[in-house]
Amino acid sequence: MRTLPASPSSRSSVLLHRALATASGAAGGTFGLAALPVELPVSTVIMLRSIADIARSEGEDLKDPATALACVEVFALGGRAGSTDASESGYFATRTVLAKAVTEAARFIAERGVVKEGAPVLLKFVTQVAARFGVIVSQKVAAQALPIVGALGGAAVNYAFMEHFQEIARGHFTVRRLERLYGKEAIHAEYDVIAAEEKIAS
C-alpha cells in the first residue's frame, strides 16, 4: 500500500494489474503445480495491490488500518463464484460475519501496530477470510493441475481471477463510499428494497 502512486486509480492501472497477474499465471502455468507455492503468493499480492488502488479511488484512506483490512476482506466477499454484484444476498451477510473481527483487528493495529502480540486478533480475521478465499484457491489449483493448461491456461485463469476480484473490490468500496455519504442504515434499507424487488421479479 505504501508503494502506490499518489494519483488516483485509472483504467490503465486496472489493466496493468491484470497484465501482471496474467504474466504471473503464464509463468506458473508453464511449470505447473510445482510453481504454485511461488506463483500463488505473487498473484495474490498483485491482486491486493489492485484492490488497494480501487479502494483509494473510492475515497478510502490507505493509512487507516480499517481500510487495509477491508482490502483483505474483498477475498472473503468474492468467495462465491458468480457473485460479483455487491447487491447480492451474500454481500451484507458476509460483511456482518466479518464485522467484529475487522473492528477488533483495526482497533488493535491502530493502538499497537502489527506486533507479535496481535496474532490472536489478526489470526481470527485472517482465518475467516481464508475459509472463503480457500474455495477460490481450490478452483485455481484444480484448473492449473490439468496437464494441458500450460502457460496460456495459467494466464487465462489468473486474468479471470484478477477481473473477478477487481469487480468485487469496485462494488465493495462503492458501497463503503455510499455508507460514508448517506449512513449505513440508509444504504442497507435501500439494499433491502432492491433485494425485495429482485425476489419478486424472479
Cα–Cα distance for residue pair 159/157, rounded to 1 Å = 6
5 lies in some domain: no
3 lies in some domain: no
Any idea which residue has 458468480 for its cell?
82
Instruction: Give the 3-state secondary structure of residue 64.
Output: coil
38 lies in some domain: yes
What's the pLDDT at 52? 93
Q: Give how far Cα 15 sits from Cα of 55, 89, 158, 187, 188, Å.
A: 16, 29, 13, 30, 32
Domain containing residue 26:
11-201
The string of pLDDT tens digits covering residues 9-24 is 556 588 889 999 889 8
60 lies in some domain: yes
6 lies in some domain: no
What's the pLDDT at 4? 78
Residue 201 region by backbone torsions, left for phi larger than 0, else alpha for psi between -120 and 50, else beta = alpha
With beta carbons less than 8 A apart as the criterion, state whether 47 and 165 touch: yes
What's the pLDDT at 115? 52
Task: Tell me which residue of 108, 157, 101 sits closest to 129, measured CA to CA.
Answer: 101
What's the pLDDT at 182? 95
Distance linking the first and last C-alpha atoms of the chain: 41
1 lies in some domain: no
How far out from the chain centre does Cα 36 lie? 20
Domain count, the chain: 1
Task: Go through 169-188 and write b for each residue having 16 or more CB atoms within 10 A of its CB, e for each that does not.
Answer: bbbbbebbbbeeeeeeeebe
Task: Tell me which residue of 134, 151, 139, 170 sits closest to 60, measured CA to CA.
Answer: 170
4 lies in some domain: no
Q: From first to last of its 202 residues, what are the pLDDT tens digits of the chain?
A: 777 765 665 565 888 899 998 898 888 777 777 777 788 889 889 999 999 999 999 999 988 888 988 998 998 887 654 444 444 447 777 777 777 777 777 777 666 665 555 556 666 666 767 666 766 666 666 666 665 556 777 788 889 889 999 999 999 999 999 999 999 999 989 988 888 888 888 7
